[in-house]
């Protein structure tokens, strides 16, 4: 199979859509709405708390005014206590409402993101081989984790901060008008002067920070890819160049972020200057009114407090706006993945699987090209019948199409022309789950998961009992080495556990296949030479697992081809010869040449 090469330069340019309006920016968040709407009660509680908190904040200036106008005068000394008491009450309400809002809003964010992550992974698991031929796992992982985390902050804190400030802003304006229509009119006239440049610069900031985010995501994907293949990187001596390339992309992410930060710094300075100049200007006018006796100092204080509340809400709004639009970007990326339709799905009315398959496989004039290389046929008009219980060895030079036969049988891809049938049922008429349950696969380099030995053997068959697992391991000649591991069947394998040798991994995969007890066995023999002991153990295990099953083996060993009922020789996507080892050797064709090359070396290797 081909490996996807990674290249930072090949990454598509960041989506630069900085000139979008409010609706367009928020549109990508819409698919997430159903997730939030599942929790209507939480939303209602958060909303209620939000209104109470905003209301409490807005009454503060009223209390302050009363305090200034009446609290300090000797004739109403008793009012002092009342006003201060009221202030405390307002503060207590504010505290309780803010805490409640925080709790419900954060809960909602966590809940929505947990649901979304689960759905996204379920969706990713359903996508087919063609999708993964081109997808970058690093980027998918970053969408599953980083993008959803960004959404959490949007759904949680940012949305609630934005809503609170929106409430506060309009509340403050209403109260300003109520306090002094004249001053309010003046202050409102200043708003466009403040807001318009803010909005314009906000767009620029957003564009730059999105660029920074995208650059960083690609750098992360690149790092992920290289770390997951760290041995290949080190073995090829590519450490220095990989590090240099990663450093370069991190630097360019820094530059992009720096550009956004600079712009934001200027915007902040400008905004503060304009806002405060306007407030001071209005205050000066108000002060004239107070001096002329047209207004009390308490009313002026109240007005100023509302103006400050309004202005700071506006400031916070502009800040959360950039966070929310970043989250909209993340939502857009997630929505893109959720929109990918799996190509290999069960038909509307799948043919039910029989209680027991016989295991007759028919390839009928199959033509197939991989979606990533549509012009290059991997199988050309291939026809092959494998009878129930027959053991067929597939032999052929590299790239002949042996693994492709396996992928098509497992229906990782659909054929372009012709058909494949199991016991007379076209694979496309079956539910892929039923089909795959009928097939056990032991690949050349079996994947060992970061689970215990017994969980690895029972992978995909969680219901298997301990006895069944041990019986399978015994038949696969794996029991003895497993018992020699530190914790036997409970030993943790994989990245954070014990590493197994090639022969041990093969036998574990064979145990997995035995436990699966499927009527069809697909086995890709390891090409790497095993030591004599492992070799004979693996052969014995294979002999056992092939009993009574239809077996297709990509054969690399003499012992395997000798044991096969039939050898099928493939070349360039076609069957060129069929027969037994003896007949094909005598025929002097491709098989004879391949066998001489490969098995002579094998004998020489065994003799050495």
Ligand X SMILES: Nc1ncnc2c1ncn2[C@@H]1O[C@H](COP(=O)(O)OP(=O)(O)OP(=O)(O)O)[C@@H](O)[C@H]1O
Sign of CA dihedral 158, 159, 161, 166: positive
Instruction: Give the shortest CB-576-to-ligand X separation in angstroms.
Output: 13
Closer residue to ligand X, CB minimum distance, 188 or 373: 373
Closer residue to ligand X, CB minimum distance, 323 or 525: 525
Residue 580 sits at the vertex; the CA angle it makes with 574 and 584, to the nearest 5 degrees, is: 65
Instruction: Give the shortest CB-378-to-ligand X separation in angstroms.
Output: 4
- Of 80, 304, 106, the residue nearest 187 (C-alpha): 304
Instruction: Give the shortest CB-605-to-ligand X separation in angstroms.
Output: 19
Sign of CA dihedral 538, 540, 543, 545: negative
| Residue spans of alpha helices (H) in 143-238 | 148-153, 159-179, 181-228, 230-235
| Maximum pairwise Cα distance, the chain | 124
Instruction: Give the shortest CB-598-to-ligand X separation in angstroms.
Output: 12
Closer residue to ligand X, CB minimum distance, 113 or 377: 377
Residues for the chain: how many in total?
608
Q: Please report where in the chains the tokens 């302050």 appear, as a residue.
A: 64
| Residue spans of alpha helices (H) in 459-579 | 466-475, 479-483, 502-516, 532-546, 558-563
Instruction: Give the shortest CB-357-to-ligand X separation in angstroms.
Output: 24
**530-545: buried (b, 16+ CB within 10 Å) or exposed (e) per residue?**
beeebbebbbebbeeb
d(CA 419, CA 215): 45
Instruction: Give the shortest CB-192-to-ligand X separation in angstroms.
Output: 58
Instruction: Give the shortest CB-331-to-ligand X separation in angstroms.
Output: 31
Closer residue to ligand X, CB minimum distance, 116 or 554: 554
| Phi, psi angle pair for 534, to nearest 5° | -60, -40
Instruction: Give the shortest CB-445-to-ligand X separation in angstroms.
Output: 11
Closer residue to ligand X, CB minimum distance, 50 or 369: 369
Closer residue to ligand X, CB minimum distance, 132 or 254: 132
Q: How far is CA 317 from the centre of its chain?
A: 30
- Of 190, 150, 142, the residue nearest 322 (C-alpha): 150
Closer residue to ligand X, CB minimum distance, 108 or 526: 526
d(CA 230, CA 495): 12
Closer residue to ligand X, CB minimum distance, 1 or 292: 1
Closer residue to ligand X, CB minimum distance, 1 or 355: 1
Residue 524: CA atoms inside 13 Å, Cβ hemisphere, count? 19
d(CA 318, CA 200): 11
Closer residue to ligand X, CB minimum distance, 185 or 342: 342
- The DSSP bridge partners found for residue 366 are 382
d(CA 113, CA 131): 24
d(CA 108, CA 41): 10
Q: Please report where in the chains the tokens 């949680």 appear, as a residue.
A: 156
Work out the end-to-end distance of the chain between its first and last CA atoms, rounded to an integer number of angstroms: 32
Closer residue to ligand X, CB minimum distance, 398 or 465: 398
Instruction: Give the shortest CB-405-to-ligand X separation in angstroms.
Output: 7
Instruction: Give the shortest CB-479-to-ligand X separation in angstroms.
Output: 30
Closer residue to ligand X, CB minimum distance, 525 or 563: 525
Strands, sheet with 574-579, edge to edge from the N-terminal-most edge strand: 439-442, 520-524, 550-554, 391-395, 566-571, 574-579
Closer residue to ligand X, CB minimum distance, 241 or 343: 343
Instruction: Give the shortest CB-572-to-ligand X separation in angstroms.
Output: 8
Binding residues (CB under 6 A) for ligand X: these are 1-2, 133, 370, 372-373, 378, 396, 398-404
d(CA 120, CA 138): 15
Pair 116, 148: CB distance under 8 Å: yes
Instruction: Give the shortest CB-265-to-ligand X separation in angstroms.
Output: 49
Instruction: Give the shortest CB-366-to-ligand X separation in angstroms.
Output: 12
Closer residue to ligand X, CB minimum distance, 69 or 577: 577
- Token readout for 127 is 């996508």
d(CA 93, CA 368): 70
Q: Please report where in the chains the tokens 């710094």 appear, as a residue.
A: 265
Instruction: Give the shortest CB-522-to-ligand X separation in angstroms.
Output: 12
d(CA 264, CA 198): 10
Instruction: Give the shortest CB-482-to-ligand X separation in angstroms.
Output: 29
Closer residue to ligand X, CB minimum distance, 162 or 400: 400
Instruction: Give the shortest CB-372-to-ligand X separation in angstroms.
Output: 4
Closer residue to ligand X, CB minimum distance, 359 or 396: 396
Sign of CA dihedral 564, 569, 574, 577: negative
- Token readout for 587 is 């025929």
**244-276: buried (b, 16+ CB within 10 Å) or exposed (e) per residue?**
ebbeebbebbeebbebbeebbeebeeebeebbe
Q: What residues have CB less than 8 Å from 205, skipping those under 6 apart? A: 260, 263, 264, 267, 322
């Amino acid at each position: 199979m081909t490996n996807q090469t990674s290249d930072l330069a090949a990454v598509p340019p960041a989506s630069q859509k900085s000139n979008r309006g409010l609706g367009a920016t928020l549109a990508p968040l819409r698919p997430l709405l159903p997730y939030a709407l599942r929790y209507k009660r939480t939303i209602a509680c958060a909303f209620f708390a939000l209104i109470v908190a905003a209301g409490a904040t807005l009454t503060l200036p009223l209390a302050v005014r009363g305090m200034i106008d009446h609290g300090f005068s000797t004739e109403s000394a008793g009012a002092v206590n009342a006003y201060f008491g009221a202030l405390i009450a307002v503060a207590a309400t504010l505290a309780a409402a803010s805490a409640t809002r925080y709790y419900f809003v954060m809960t909602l964010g966590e809940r929505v993101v947990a649901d979304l992550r689960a759905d996204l992974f379920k969706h990713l698991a359903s996508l087919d081989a063609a999708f993964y031929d081109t997808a970058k796992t690093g980027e998918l992982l970053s969408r599953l984790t980083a993008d959803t985390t960004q959404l959490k902050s949007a759904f949680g804190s940012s949305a609630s901060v934005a809503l609170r400030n929106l409430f506060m802003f309009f509340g403050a304006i209403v109260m300003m008008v109520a306090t002094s229509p004249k001053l309010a009119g003046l202050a409102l006239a200043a708003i466009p002067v403040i807001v318009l440049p803010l909005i314009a610069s906000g767009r620029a900031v957003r564009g730059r920070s999105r660029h920074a985010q995208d650059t960083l995501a690609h750098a992360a994907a690149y790092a992920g890819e290289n770390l997951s293949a760290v041995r290949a990187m080190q073995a090829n001596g590519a450490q220095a160049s990989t590090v240099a390339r990663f450093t370069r992309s991190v630097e360019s992410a820094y530059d992009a972020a720096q550009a956004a930060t600079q712009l934001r710094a200027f915007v902040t300075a400008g905004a503060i200057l304009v806002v405060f100049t306007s407030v001071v200007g209005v205050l000066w006018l108000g002060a004239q009114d107070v001096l002329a006796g047209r207004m009390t100092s308490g009313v002026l204080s109240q007005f100023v407090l509302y103006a400050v509340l309004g202005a700071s809400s506006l400031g916070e709004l502009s800040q959360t706006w950039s966070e929310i639009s970043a989250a909209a970007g993340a939502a857009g990326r997630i929505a893109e993945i959720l929109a990918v339709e799996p190509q290999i799905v069960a038909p509307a009315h799948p043919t039910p699987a029989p209680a027991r398959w016989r295991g007759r496989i028919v390839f009928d004039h199959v033509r197939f090209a991989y979606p990533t290389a549509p012009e290059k046929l991997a199988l050309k008009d291939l026809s092959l019948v494998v009878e129930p219980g027959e053991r067929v060895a597939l032999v052929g030079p590299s790239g002949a199409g042996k693994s492709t036969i396996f992928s098509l049988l497992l229906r990782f891809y659909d054929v372009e022309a012709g058909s494949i049938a199991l016991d007379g049922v076209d694979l496309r008429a079956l539910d892929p789950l039923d089909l795959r349950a009928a097939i056990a696969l032991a690949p050349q380099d079996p994947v060992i998961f970061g689970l215990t030995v017994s969980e690895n053997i029972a992978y995909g068959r969680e219901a298997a009992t301990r006895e069944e697992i041990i019986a399978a391991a015994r038949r696969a000649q794996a029991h003895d080495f497993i018992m020699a591991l530190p914790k036997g069947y409970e030993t943790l394998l994989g990245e954070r556990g014990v590493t197994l040798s090639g022969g041990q991994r093969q036998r574990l995969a064979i145990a997995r296949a035995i436990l699966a007890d499927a009527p069809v066995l697909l086995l890709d023999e390891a090409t790497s030479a095993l030591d004599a002991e492992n070799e004979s153990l693996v052969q014995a295990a294979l002999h056992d697992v092939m009993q009574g099953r239809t077996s297709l083996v990509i054969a690399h060993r003499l012992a395997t081809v000798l044991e096969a009922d039939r050898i099928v020789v493939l070349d360039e996507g076609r069957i060129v010869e069929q027969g037994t080892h003896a007949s094909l050797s005598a025929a002097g064709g491709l098989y004879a040449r391949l066998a001489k090359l490969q098995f002579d070396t094998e004998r020489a290797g065994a003799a050495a």
